């Protein structure tokens, strides 16, 4: 199913299902003796659609595991599962995946999920999604004793039943990683709160773990790069990564292809020791090839599909800089020291900025950000001026300042 179809299903099917599920789940639990522990032991995180969110939620997940000495579990769409494996905070055997290719397969997997939760003795479920009815249903039907998530209280239009035991107020003025931490800390409160969570969560509370990349893994990645760029020598050359892609969830996040072309041409003309790799998934290889041809330089390489998803940290560890749209790679690079420049438009870095060695570039137009939890991240905009407002000169100057700084020699 495409993104718009999933939104329609979430609305037209999600509202009646959450309405029916609310009294039914409460009735079942009223007549079912609680056999679950008083403190969390098996915690389920629910986050379906955003790969980058698995990185942003990692500090909260690690705090839950350490605070309660609990086993972590996760439910996610099958295509997004690899993002969980970059840090392996959740054991791979504890991940349940849902197919989204059709409504029938989604329903079948949801029914399997209920049984899986009982087999795993899930006693706590934390819904990381922003007002998704699908995730609310999964959280409710986990039958966990404690069910935590964002609740809209007196707001309008985001109703998704009354399936939570710990209703947390979503704060649109606080970074999403701190909102995720608020969900976990709701479980730590000795007394019920309305709303949760009445504690301060500071930026320093959010610490993202860095992944370790071995010299052998780095060498293997260098060999993969050399297979596509035989002239690349890590002793003499530096790597700049360009990620011109964005998921279909919000294609308005894309900086114009011609801007990327100009940026790469100017970088290659200025730095004789620089190779530029255009990155992306295998399905994006054709588009990357067209962009490479438009650049017309031997040190511009189409590297889309050049490595496996799990090898992205290896690629980042041998690179000097990356420029990317506001999408997954900006968060995946955060688990490495790679300097990353992330281009924002429909969303704001104040809420979704990378937790790593990252600099956001954002024009800050009056209409931006135009997507939020309130509109399920669907913008009416068909002309993303906010992305075109980011000039090639600005990005070029930022990248050059980094490349010219001491300590940015070749690998």
Asked if 180 and 292 sit in the same domain, the reply is: no
Instruction: Please list the residues that pair with 45 across neighbouring strands.
Output: 74, 126
Alpha helices in 174-242 (DSSP H): 176-186, 215-228
Asked if 286 and 370 sit in the same domain, the reply is: yes
- What is the C-alpha separation between 320 and 335, in angstroms, rounded? 15
For 373-398, what is the mean pLDDT? 90
Asked if 244 and 158 sit in the same domain, the reply is: no
Last residue of a domain, one of 154, 170, 205: 205
Please give the tally of structural domains in the chain: 2
Phi first, then psi: what are they for 369, rounded to 5°? -85, 145
Asked if 194 and 318 sit in the same domain, the reply is: no
Last residue of a domain, one of 205, 236, 263: 205
Indicate the range of 31-40, 131-140, 218-227 predicted with least confidence: 31-40
Task: Extract the tokens encoding 76.
Answer: 């996610």
Q: What dihedral do alpha carbons 304, 307, 308, 310 form, nearest 10°?
A: -120
Is pLDDT at 36 greater than 90 in this prediction? no
> Exposed/middle/buried for 3, CB within 10 Å: 0-12, 13-18, 19+?
middle
- pLDDT-based confidence at residue 388 (cuts at 50, 70, 90): very high
Looking up residue 53, the CATH number of its domain turns out to be: 3.40.50.2000
Kindly give, in sequence order, each residue whose CB lies less than 8 Å from that of residue 328, ignoring residues fewer than 6 positions away.
Answer: 51, 52, 83, 247
Count the helices and strands in the chain (H runs, E runs).
15, 12
pTM as predicted = 0.92
* Chain segment 334-346, per-residue pLDDT in tens: 999 999 999 999 9
- pLDDT-based confidence at residue 28 (cuts at 50, 70, 90): confident
Find how far residue 313's CA is from the centre of its chain: 15
CB 363 within 8 A of CB 347: no
- Closest by Cα among 324, 339, 363, 410 to 52: 324
Indicate the range of 10-19, 67-76, 330-339 predicted with least confidence: 10-19
Asked if 131 and 257 sit in the same domain, the reply is: no
Q: Measure Cα distances from 373 to 5, 176, 353 in Å.
A: 18, 11, 16
Q: pLDDT value at position 157?
A: 79
Q: In this structure, is residue 410 part of a structural domain?
A: no
Task: Extract the tokens encoding 227.
Answer: 């297979």
- Closest by Cα among 141, 157, 163, 10 to 149: 163
Q: In this structure, is residue 358 part of a structural domain?
A: yes
Asked if 108 and 200 sit in the same domain, the reply is: yes
Q: pLDDT value at position 31?
A: 76
CB 166 within 8 A of CB 146: yes
- What is the C-alpha separation between 43 and 67, in angstroms, rounded? 12
Asked if 240 and 191 sit in the same domain, the reply is: no
**Residue 172 belongs to what domain range?**
3-205
> Exposed/middle/buried for 306, CB within 10 Å: 0-12, 13-18, 19+?
buried
Q: pLDDT value at position 7?
A: 79
* Chain segment 247-270, per-residue pLDDT in tens: 676 788 899 999 999 999 999 999
């Amino acid at each position: 199913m495409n993104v718009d179809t999933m939104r329609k299903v979430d609305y037209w099917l999600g509202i009646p299902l959450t309405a029916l599920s609310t009294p039914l789940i409460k009735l079942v639990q009223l007549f079912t003796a609680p056999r679950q522990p008083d403190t969390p032991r098996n915690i389920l995180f629910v986050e379906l659609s955003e790969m980058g969110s698995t990185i942003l939620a990692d500090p909260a997940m690690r705090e839950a595991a350490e605070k309660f000495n609990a086993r972590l579990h996760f439910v996610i769409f099958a295509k997004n599962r690899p993002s969980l494996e970059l840090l392996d905070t959740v054991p791979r055997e504890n991940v349940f995946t849902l197919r989204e290719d059709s409504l029938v397969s989604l329903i079948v997997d949801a029914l399997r999920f209920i049984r899986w939760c009982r087999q795993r003795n899930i006693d706590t479920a934390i819904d990381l999604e922003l007002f998704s009815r699908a995730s609310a249903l999964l959280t409710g039907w986990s039958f966990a004793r404690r069910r935590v998530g964002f609740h809209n209280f007196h707001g309008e239009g985001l109703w998704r039943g009354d399936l939570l035991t710990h209703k947390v107020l979503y704060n649109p003025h606080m970074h999403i990683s701190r909102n995720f931490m608020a969900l976990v800390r709701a479980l730590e409160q000795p007394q019920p709160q309305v709303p949760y969570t009445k504690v301060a969560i500071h930026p320093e509370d959010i610490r993202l773990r860095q992944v370790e990349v071995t010299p052998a893994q780095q060498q293997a990645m260098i060999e993969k790069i050399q297979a596509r760029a035989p002239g690349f020598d890590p002793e003499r050359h530096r790597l700049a990564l360009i990620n011109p892609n964005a998921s279909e969830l919000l294609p308005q996040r894309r900086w114009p292809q011609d801007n990327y072309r100009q940026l790469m041409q100017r970088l290659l003309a200025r730095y004789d020791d620089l190779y530029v790799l255009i990155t992306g998934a295998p399905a994006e290889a054709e588009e990357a090839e067209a962009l490479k041809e438009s650049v017309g330089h031997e040190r511009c390489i189409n590297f889309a599909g050049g490595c496996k998803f799990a090898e992205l940290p290896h690629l980042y560890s041998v690179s000097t800089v990356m420029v990317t749209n506001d999408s997954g790679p900006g968060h995946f690079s955060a688990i490495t020291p790679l300097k990353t420049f992330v281009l924002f438009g429909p969303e704001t870095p104040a809420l979704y900025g990378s937790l790593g060695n990252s600099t956001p570039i954002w024009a800050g137009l009056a209409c931006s950000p135009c997507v939020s939890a309130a509109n399920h991240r669907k913008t009416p905009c068909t002309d993303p001026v906010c992305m075109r407002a980011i000039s090639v000169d600005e990005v070029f100057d930022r990248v050059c300042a980094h490349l010219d700084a001491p300590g940015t020699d070749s690998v």
